Every structure is written in structure tokens, then in C-alpha cells.
């Protein structure tokens, strides 16, 4: 059986849901919406933080194993330090991953749970490897390190599936272009002040809202996990996603509060003949060049 078929079975493993729900509830209590969660999500960075932090533990452990296998006796001390450095670097990496995973559901959540457990097993193997080394049982320490790599490799495969197979952490509006030319949507008098209105144009759902007398238009699919912004709350010039609480400026689409990391695509708006017309802005043209 091909590996991705096994992952598909894992996505349907509803027996994991009870555990996943309890773990997500705990993470939600520890990391409610706010600055700490935004920091771990990578809101300040412009993309998820977790993939960047992965380089720390994996780099340390790979280097340690290299020294173990080919470095000789003189490199043993350096290898041991790299093992423990990798364990310490894994802590913030796991925290960032847990923050991202806490916003998933269904099959993504099930795969993500096993991904996290595999990473945890890998960290425990390397921690045990360090203990064995310090006790003079170097052969066992090296062996435990190799076992840790096995768990980390499995976690890496599942993590790649979550990103490239299901789009966790990917901007959900990345391939939504919208109209290049001015396109009429609704009558201007259908937009009450401060109330979101959804409208479809060229396969893209838009959020329209009159804010302070100005009509704003954003892609209605939240860049974070695809939540319906046209069902969100409008307040203080921002819209809040009803799914995970990300907030975006209505005028620019910029992220005000995470866990979203990417800004919401904003559309140009004008009133012509009593009708609201929109077209996509120039940055989207650069992002989606004509073929």
C-alpha cells in the first residue's frame, strides 16, 4: 500500500477524536486568542513560525548523529551537546506547532495529532539518548538517537502532508484572483452601515461593508483557515473571523490579530450608477500573472 493511502486511513480514524478534542481544549485554555498565540502562530512574521523553528532541533540532531558515526572520540563531547541543544530547541518548536494544530478539525486534526505524538516520541528518544551518553552507555545513546530520527522522519512526512496535502498553514486565498475589470455586484443602497454583506463574483466570495460612509471589499474567505468573513463581526474598522478570531482591517486587509499570518486580499471599490463595482488590486496581479 502506498504511504498516502495509509495517511488517508489516518484521516478517517475517528477513534482519535476524543483525545484530540481534549488536547485541543487544553491548548485553547493555555493559548487563547491574543499576543502569545499570535507570536507562536507567526502573525508578526508573515507566515507560520513552526516550519522555521523545525530547523533548530533537526539541525542539531543531524549534526550530532554525523559526529557519532564519523567524528571519532574527539567529537563525542560536541555530539552530546548537540543532542541536548536539539531537545531544548524542540520545546518552542512544539509550542508553535501546537498553536497551529489547535485551529484544525476533522482529518487534519487526526493527522496532526499523530504528527505531534511522533515528534514527542522523537524528543523523548533524544532526551534518553543524552542520559545514556552521560551514564557511559554510548552505544545505547547513539541507538536511541537513530530511533529518534525515525520518529522525527515519520512526523516530517505527516507534517508535509498537512501542509502540501491539506493546506494547513497555507494562505487559503492564494489562487483566488477575482475580476480584473470593474464589475458590478449589488445596489449601493443594499449596504447598511456596519453590516457585512456577501457577494459572489467570478467564483470568489467577497465581503462588502459600508464603514464610516466608505464601501470596503475584502475576500470573504479568511486567509487563515477559510472562515466566512461575511458572517463576521464588524467593529472599529475591522472584521473578525467567526472561526478562530483573526481580525483584519477593512480598508487594507492587514492582519490586526492572529492567528492569521497573511493579509486579507482587498479589492478596489467604486459606486457607478448606484451600483457597487469592484476589481482586484494590483498586488494580486503580480501574485497571479497571466499565463
What whole-number distance in Å separates Cα of residue 201 and Cα of residue 205? 7
pLDDT tens for the chain, 291 residues long, are 677 788 889 999 999 999 999 999 999 999 998 999 999 999 999 999 999 999 999 999 999 999 999 988 889 999 999 999 999 999 999 999 999 999 999 999 999 999 999 999 999 999 999 999 999 999 999 999 999 999 999 999 999 999 999 999 999 999 888 898 999 999 998 888 989 999 999 889 999 999 888 999 999 999 999 999 999 999 999 999 999 999 999 999 999 999 999 999 999 999 998 999 999 886 544 455 444
pTM: 0.88
Instruction: Convert the chain into a string of H (helix), E (strand) and C (coil).
Output: CCHHHHHHHHHCCHHHHHHHHHHHHHHHHHCCCCHHHHHHHCCCCCCCCHHHHCHHHHHHHHHHHHHHHHCCHHHHHHHHHHHHHHHHHHHHHHHHHHHHHCCCCHHHHHHHHHHHHHHHHHHHHHHHHHHHHHCCCHHHHHHHHHHHHHHHHHHHHHHHHHHHHCCCCCCCCCCCCCCCCCEEEEEHHHCCECCCEEEEECCEEEEEEEECCEEEEEECECCCCCCEHHHCEEECCEEECCCCCCEEECCCCCEEECCCCCCCCEEEEEEECCEEEEEECHHHHHHCCCC
Amino acid at each position: 500500500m502506498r504511504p498516502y493511502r495509509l495517511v488517508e486511513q489516518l484521516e478517517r480514524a475517528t477513534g482519535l477524536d476524543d483525545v484530540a478534542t481534549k488536547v485541543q481544549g487544553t491548548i485553547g485554555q493555555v493559548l487563547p486568542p491574543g499576543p502569545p498565540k499570535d507570536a507562536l502562530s507567526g502573525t508578526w512574521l508573515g507566515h507560520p513560525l513552526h516550519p522555521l523553528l523545525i530547523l533548530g532541533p533537526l539541525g542539531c540532531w543531524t549534526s550530532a548523529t554525523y559526529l557519532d558515526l564519523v567524528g571519532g572520540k574527539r567529537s563525542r563531547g560536541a555530539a552530546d551537546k548537540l543532542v541536548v541543544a536539539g531537545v531544548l530547541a524542540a520545546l518552542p518548536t512544539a509550542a508553535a506547532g501546537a498553536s497551529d494544530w489547535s485551529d484544525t478539525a476533522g482529518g487534519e486534526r487526526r493527522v496532526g495529532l499523530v504528527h505531534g505524538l511522533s515528534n514527542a516520541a522523537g524528543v523523548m528518544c533524544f532526551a534518553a539518548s543524552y542520559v545514556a551518553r552521560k551514564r557511559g552507555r554510548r552505544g545505547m545513546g547513539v541507538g536511541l538517537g537513530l530511533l529518534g530520527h525515525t520518529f522525527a522522519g515519520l512526523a516530517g512526512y505527516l507534517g508535509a502532508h498537512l501542509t502540501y496535502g491539506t493546506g494547513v498553514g497555507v494562505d487559503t486565498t492564494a489562487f483566488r484572483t477575482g475580476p480584473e475589470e470593474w464589475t458590478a455586484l449589488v445596489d449601493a443602497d443594499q449596504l447598511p452601515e456596519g453590516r457585512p454583506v456577501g457577494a459572489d463574483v467570478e467564483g470568489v466570495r467577497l465581503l462588502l461593508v459600508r464603514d464610516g460612509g466608505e464601501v470596503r471589499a475584502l475576500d470573504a474567505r479568511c486567509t487563515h483557515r477559510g472562515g466566512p468573513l461575511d458572517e463576521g463581526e464588524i467593529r472599529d474598522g475591522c472584521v473578525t473571523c467567526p472561526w478562530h478570531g483573526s481580525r483584519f482591517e477593512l480598508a487594507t486587509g492587514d492582519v490586526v490579530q492572529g492567528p492569521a499570518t497573511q493579509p486579507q486580499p482587498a479589492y478596489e471599490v467604486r459606486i457607478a450608477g448606484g451600483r457597487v463595482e469592484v476589481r482586484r488590486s494590483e498586488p494580486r496581479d503580480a501574485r497571479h500573472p497571466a499565463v
